[in-house]
């Protein structure tokens, strides 16, 4: 199935931009689907309410393979040691709309199960929403070598494992990536976030000799006499202070000094560990409203918990409960790599002359790994240690967690709202050979007990809060500002956004082409006539351009629709309104945020996207973004609208009907002249799905000898879609400057429905 080229076009850039704008203004009619507002209690993997409690469970055989053929009656579920009947049971494939439907069915109980199953069956399998990966790097407890190893492993994972629809988030305990800590499928953003990670010295040593680390300080605080004796003897030998034995009637000066050192180091260690736990809790809270199960990688060298005087163990329990409510499963990775646990030649410690330290049996590596095991085990994940192949570990975890069983049960009424931590235990009956991973439990607190409106007939507290957040402000400026600044895009108004960049100046000045489509979301209060025949919709729209530090560097405001819109034929379905604007931008990484406010009822919607603008000034070989649309003869031209001379009508949502032909357009910039006097260019295009090529067109030489401007070469082609099943795909184009031996690459994701 080849990619069919369209003859290289000799068209002036201003005409091209005008055509893009006109094409976007008259976007083709398409069915507007109702926007369903996400609700936190619906989307939790473990949700606690008056109907059902649910949790995810994974079962593996001895070879580490997921066991996918188990039945409900094979599971035994215990809550605080008491066997509880399983009310809902389902095998779930992570990612995609089917997962959300199954979660909703489990949360609503048996009555909603049939509806949820029907919705999952009826929903087209488009794979538009793929997997989500969350990387939390504990840079307070990562050595320089460990940080470098972790950064490389994540970068390789992003480049090789992430495919269409997948998203990832890179977060650190010290907030190092800053504004770039956002869930995104844009690999340029993830690369930039990783590049901002640097070594943060969380070392709690005090510079004295013999060197005392946090593990040894904790052992001294716990009263480990062998460790205390080692430091008393070493301190006396190095400083000349009076030594003595542990347990003497009067503590020696060396012992007093050792205990004071240990106490100060433990306090500092607890302070750093608390910072990590606090950042983890904030991270879990930030991703709690994301749909479905959340797989999180916690990467650290490990640290020790103070079980004597601090509340770090309570921090761990609160983290476990927060992760359970948010549906977060932690897989912890020890970035140290292979570790033997023995001192090496670089150790600053004193000689263990009398064997006190050896007798203590203190294993510093295992002591630091305890917290990694606890976090993983309590949230239903797994701790990975003693491996230098972090990249392979990340990939294996992604495959391992792609499926899970969803179990739900009905809580006993008299046991609810007690604020107690309830322990969960799940086993497969008569199968001791299987390993079951499930979170340790949850806190049965009133915060998780709010009823949903569809169960009580009254608006829930969450629904009221959502309504207040969504806002129906009569002030357009205020409403748009709130929508633009929201952490997640709003869907009360359907907004589709497409962003690309072009070279628009004599000296290679770049600009972002922002194209959007806006349609009023259908709601239960809309009449049938309003859904199908309304043609006078009007919207206030706004755009904000933010650089990679979160500073605003551009944008616009505009009113579209209303009297400016051509009337459609009577009874015709209302088309989405379109708008296109060029925004000059310097080379760099930007986030484009657009928001729309329905002038009729004040509802708002928003969409966000990222764009990386390369240097397109003379001497820098580059290609523009790929602009995709359909052939002009596949969609009717609106009244008064001239056909586009490019033969392309842009799709802001990049969604195409099966059987249509996708057309794409791009520009090649600053190709060198060959010995024949004209650029020597080769283009290679292919379409991939989940990293595998489904259409692979052979490389094709461009005819450039007759071009008026060889520094700016347009190219268009089309891709037949009739043989491709519904789903999400990536169109990749690679341009090669044969005279300069340089390559430039661009990709764009599109969807077939």
Q: Which tens digits make up the pLDDT trace of 638-665?
A: 433 334 444 567 788 899 998 888 999 9
d(CA 544, CA 366): 49
Residue 483, C-beta contacts closer than 8 angstroms, at least 6 positions apart: 471, 490, 542, 595, 596, 597, 604, 605, 606
Closest C-alpha to 107, from 48, 23, 175, 176: 48
Residue 348: pLDDT band (50, 70, 90) is low
pLDDT at 178 (0 to 100): 95
Q: Is it the case that residue 80 has pLDDT exceeding 50?
A: yes
Contact 481, 490 (CB under 8 A): no
pLDDT at 566 (0 to 100): 43
DSSP 114-141: HHHHHHHHHS-----S--EEEEEE-GGG
Q: For residue 422, say if its preceding peptide bond is cis, omega within 30 degrees of 0.
A: no
In this structure, of 39-43, 450-454, 630-634, the range with the lowest mean pLDDT score is 450-454
Contact 604, 597 (CB under 8 A): yes
Which pTM was predicted?
0.78
Q: What letter would DSSP give residue 384?
A: E
Return the SS3 of 639. coil
Q: Is it the case that residue 174 has pLDDT exceeding 60?
A: yes
User: Using one digit for the tens of pLDDT, what is the confidence trace for 453-480?
Assistant: 333 334 444 444 444 444 456 688 899 9
pLDDT at 5 (0 to 100): 62
Place of tokens 């992760």: 323
Q: How far is CA 252 from CA 210, 225, 233, 245, 501, in A?
A: 17, 14, 11, 8, 73
Segments making up each domain of the chain, as ranges: 4-36+465-752, 40-127+403-451, 132-202+272-344+358-400
CATH topology of domain 132-202+272-344+358-400: Rossmann fold (3.40.50)
In this structure, of 633-637, 647-651, 719-723, the range with the lowest mean pLDDT score is 633-637
Give the max Cα distance, the chain.
Answer: 101
Q: Is it the case that residue 128 has pLDDT exceeding 70?
A: no
Average pLDDT of the chain, as a whole number: 78
Q: What is the distance, to the nearest Å, from the Cα of residue 78 to the centroid of all Cα atoms in its chain?
A: 33
Question: Average pLDDT, stretch 177-192?
Answer: 95
d(CA 332, CA 379): 10
As to burial, measured by CB atoms within 10 angstroms (0-12 exposed, 13-18 middle, 19+ buried), residue 575 is buried
Contact 517, 577 (CB under 8 A): yes
Closest C-alpha to 694, from 728, 741, 652, 645: 728
Question: Average pLDDT, stretch 288-296?
Answer: 78
Q: What is the distance, to the nearest Å, from the Cα of residue 60 to the centroid of all Cα atoms in its chain?
A: 26
Closest C-alpha to 509, from 499, 498, 501: 501
d(CA 130, CA 163): 8
Q: Are strands 441-444 and 420-428 parallel, antiparallel or unpaired?
A: antiparallel
d(CA 576, CA 350): 75
468 φ, ψ (degrees, to nearest 5): -65, -40
Residue 39: pLDDT band (50, 70, 90) is very low
pLDDT at 643 (0 to 100): 42
How many residues are present in the chain?
A: 753
Contact 464, 31 (CB under 8 A): no
Token pair in block for residue 752: 């077939």
Q: Is it the case that residue 444 has pLDDT exceeding 80?
A: no
Compute and round to an integer the Cα radius of gyration of the chain: 30
Token pair in block for residue 566: 């051509």
Contact 493, 520 (CB under 8 A): yes
pLDDT at 534 (0 to 100): 45
Where is 237: in which H helix or E strand? helix 225-239
């Amino acid at each position: 199935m080849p990619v069919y080229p369209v003859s290289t076009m000799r068209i002036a850039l201003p005409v091209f931009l005008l055509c893009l704008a006109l094409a976007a203004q008259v976007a083709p009619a398409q069915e507007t689907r109702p926007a369903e507002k996400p609700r936190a209690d619906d989307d939790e993997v473990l949700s606690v309410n008056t109907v059902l409690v649910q949790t995810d469970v994974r079962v593996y055989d001895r070879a580490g393979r997921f066991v996918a053929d188990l039945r409900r009656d094979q599971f035994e579920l215990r809550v605080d040691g008491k066997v509880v009947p399983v009310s809902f049971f389902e095998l779930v494939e992570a990612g995609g709309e089917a997962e959300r439907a199954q979660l909703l069915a489990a949360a609503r109980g048996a009555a909603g199960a049939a509806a949820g199953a029907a919705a999952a069956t009826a929903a087209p399998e488009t794979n538009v929403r793929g997997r989500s990966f969350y990387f939390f790097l504990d840079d307070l407890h990562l050595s320089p070598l460990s940080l470098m190893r972790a950064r490389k492993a994540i970068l390789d994972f992003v480049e090789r494992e992430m495919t269409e629809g997948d998203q990832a988030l890179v977060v650190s305990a010290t907030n190092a990536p800053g504004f770039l800590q956002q869930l995104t499928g844009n690999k340029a953003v993830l690369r930039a976030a990783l590049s901002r990670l640097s070594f943060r010295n969380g070392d709690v040593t005090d510079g004295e000799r013999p060197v005392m680390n946090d593990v040894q300080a904790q052992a001294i605080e716990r009263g480990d006499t062998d460790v205390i004796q080692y430091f008393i003897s070493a301190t006396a030998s190095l400083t000349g202070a009076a030594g003595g034995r542990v347990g003497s009637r009067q503590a020696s000066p060396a012992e007093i000094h050792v205990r004071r050192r240990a106490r100060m180091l433990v306090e500092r260690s607890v302070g750093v560990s608390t910072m990590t736990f606090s950042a983890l809790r904030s991270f879990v809270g930030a991703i709690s409203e994301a749909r479905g199960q959340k797989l999180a990688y916690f990467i650290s060298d490990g640290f020790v918990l103070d079980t004597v005087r601090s509340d770090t163990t309570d921090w761990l329990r609160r983290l476990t409960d927060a992760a359970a409510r948010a549906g977060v499963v932690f897989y912890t990775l020890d970035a140290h790599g292979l570790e033997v646990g023995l001192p090496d030649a670089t150790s600053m410690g004193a000689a263990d002359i009398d064997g006190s330290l050896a007798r203590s049996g203190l294993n510093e590596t295992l002591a630091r790994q305890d917290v990694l095991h606890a976090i993983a085990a309590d949230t239903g994940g797994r701790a990975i240690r003693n491996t230098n192949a972090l990249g392979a570990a990340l990939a294996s975890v992604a495959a391992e967690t792609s499926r899970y069983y969803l179990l739900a049960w009905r809580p006993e009424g008299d046991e609810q709202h007690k604020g107690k931590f309830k322990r969960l235990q799940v086993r497969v009956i008569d199968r001791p050979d299987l390993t079951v991973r499930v979170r340790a439990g949850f806190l049965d607190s009133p915060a998780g007990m709010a009823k949903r409106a569809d169960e009580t007939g009254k608006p829930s507290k969450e629904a009221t809060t959502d309504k207040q957040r969504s806002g129906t402000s009569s002030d357009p400026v205020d409403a748009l500002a709130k929508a633009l600044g929201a952490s997640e895009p709003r869907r009360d108004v359907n907004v589709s956004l497409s962003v690309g960049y072009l070279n628009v100046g004599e000296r290679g000045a770049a600009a972002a082409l922002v194209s959007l489509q806006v349609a009023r979301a259908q709601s239960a209060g809309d009449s049938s006539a309003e859904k199908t025949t309304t043609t006078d919709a009007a919207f206030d729209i706004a755009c904000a351009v933010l650089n990679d530090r979160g500073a605003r560097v551009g944008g616009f405001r505009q009113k579209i629709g209303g009297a400016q819109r051509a009337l459609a034929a009577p009874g015709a379905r209302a088309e989405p309104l379109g708008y296109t604007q060029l925004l000059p931008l310097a080379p760099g990484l930007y986030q484009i945020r657009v928001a729309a406010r329905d002038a009729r009822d004040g509802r708002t919607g928003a969409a966000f996207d990222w764009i990386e603008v390369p240097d397109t000034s003379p001497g820098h070989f580059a290609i523009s973004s790929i602009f995709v649309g359909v052939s002009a003869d596949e969609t009717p031209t609106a009244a008064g609208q001239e056909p586009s001379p490019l033969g392309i009508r842009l799709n802001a949502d990049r969604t195409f009907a099966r059987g249509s032909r996708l057309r794409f357009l791009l520009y090649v910039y600053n190709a060198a002249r060959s010995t024949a006097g004209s650029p020597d260019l080769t283009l290679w295009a292919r379409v991939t799905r989940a990293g595998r090529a489904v259409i692979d067109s052979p490389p094709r030489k461009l005819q450039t000898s007759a071009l008026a401007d060889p520094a700016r070469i347009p190219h268009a082609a089309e891709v037949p879609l009739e043989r491709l099943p519904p789903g999400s795909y990536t169109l990749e184009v690679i341009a090669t400057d044969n005279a300069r031996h340089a390559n430039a690459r661009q990709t764009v994701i599109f969807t077939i429905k």
